[in-house]
Structure 1
Amino acid sequence: MPLHMTKIAYTSKTIEVLREWVEADDEALMTTRYLPKRHAEMIGGSLYWIMNHALVARCEILGFEQRPDGRWTIRLEGKLRLVEPRPKRAHQGWRYLQDADAPRDLDAGEEQGDLIPGKLLGKLNKLGLV
């Protein structure tokens, strides 16, 4: 089972804006300062995007490449897949996500609908209401 990572989609205010960036080419390239220690386990895994305190979408991780300036490029598949929204607190940088803890992809024709804000979704989840 591949290892995944989570990251805040801080430059995208909506899923549509994130989709435009990701799907502009066959690959989306994201820069990070440090190579994840477990990067070899992450190839074939996914980067799950956080918006409004919830995991909402993912992109497959194709690989990692070092840049001349010492930073790293994370190569992502140029396809954004929506997932079942799951509460996730904001954090800086990226965090690992085990496959068993990753939200499921939405089926074709299934929609996220109006997203419940992540903080509210987290509280409802704790109460066993979602």
Structure 2
Amino acid sequence: MEHSVGKSGTIHLIKLCVGAERVEDLTDWQASARAKGPDGLPRHVTRMWPKRADEVLNGGALYWVFKGLVLCRQPILRLDAVDRGDGIARCGIVLDPTVIRVAPTAKRPFQGWRYLAPEDAPRDLPQGREAEEALPQALQNALAEIGVL
């Protein structure tokens, strides 16, 4: 079963991968100690806690947008409270280190993270296609815009 279909009562998150141009930029960052929580798992820290946390934790994933295209997702394992000693409550979205490539899908810019309904989530790439050489960014954008990718 493709994850993007999701279980009943599941919602995903979608977020711009700021500062990254390729999926490899994300995986390189997540391999660094700064991107990991105390348990060694990658996490994304945000100021907003999902109000729909139960649905996010019911098989949800974080879909990453790179330069206008959704290119991959990571299953969300849990949500941790993060205290950086400044009195600001933060949410650590703890991610499975497995990065799953999805069909490139155009997405306009937005701030923060957003909910993504399972029926709107890009489908996973078929087994064996994840390692294919990526098309040039402009071509990916054009194909995604017309719905070919």
TM-score for the superposition, normalised by structure 1:
0.85
Indicate which of 49, 54, 64 corresponds to 2:79.
64
Who is 1:46 aligned against?
61
Q: Is the 8 A contact 1:6 1:96 kept in 2?
A: yes
Q: How many pairs are equivalent? A: 127
Gap change, CA 1:122 and 1:85, over 3 Å in 2: closer
Indicate which of 105, 110, 118 corresponds to 1:86.
105
CA-based RMSD of the aligned residues comes to: 2.1
Letter in 2 for 1:103: P
What's the offset of the Cα at 1:54?
1.0
Unmatched runs of 5 consecutive residues or more in structure 2: 1-6
Moved over 3 A (4+): 22-26, 115-119
Structure with the largest fraction of strand: 1
Who is 1:30 aligned against?
44
Give the fraction of aligned pairs with identical amino acids, expressed as a percent.
32
Letter in 2 for 1:77: D
Gap change, CA 1:35 and 1:107, over 3 Å in 2: same
What's the offset of the Cα at 1:79?
1.1
Q: Distance in 2 between matches of 1:61 and 1:107?
A: 21
Gap change, CA 1:40 and 1:3, over 3 Å in 2: same
TM-score for the superposition, normalised by structure 2:
0.75
Who is 1:120 aligned against?
142
What's the offset of the Cα at 1:119?
4.8
Q: Distance in 2 between matches of 1:107 and 1:76?
A: 22
Q: Distance in 2 between matches of 1:17 and 1:23?
A: 10
Q: Is the 8 A contact 2:45 2:82 kept in 1?
A: no
Q: Is the 8 A contact 1:22 1:79 kept in 2?
A: no
Q: Is the 8 A contact 1:84 1:112 kept in 2?
A: no
Letter in 2 for 1:15: V
- State the SS of the aligned residue for 2:42: strand
Letter in 1 for 2:120: D
The one-character-per-residue Cα deviations of 1:2-33 (angstroms, maximum 9, x if unpaired) are 21011000022221111223356762111000
Q: Is the 8 A contact 2:12 2:60 kept in 1?
A: yes
Gap change, CA 1:55 and 1:79, over 3 Å in 2: same
Unmatched runs of 5 consecutive residues or more in structure 1: none
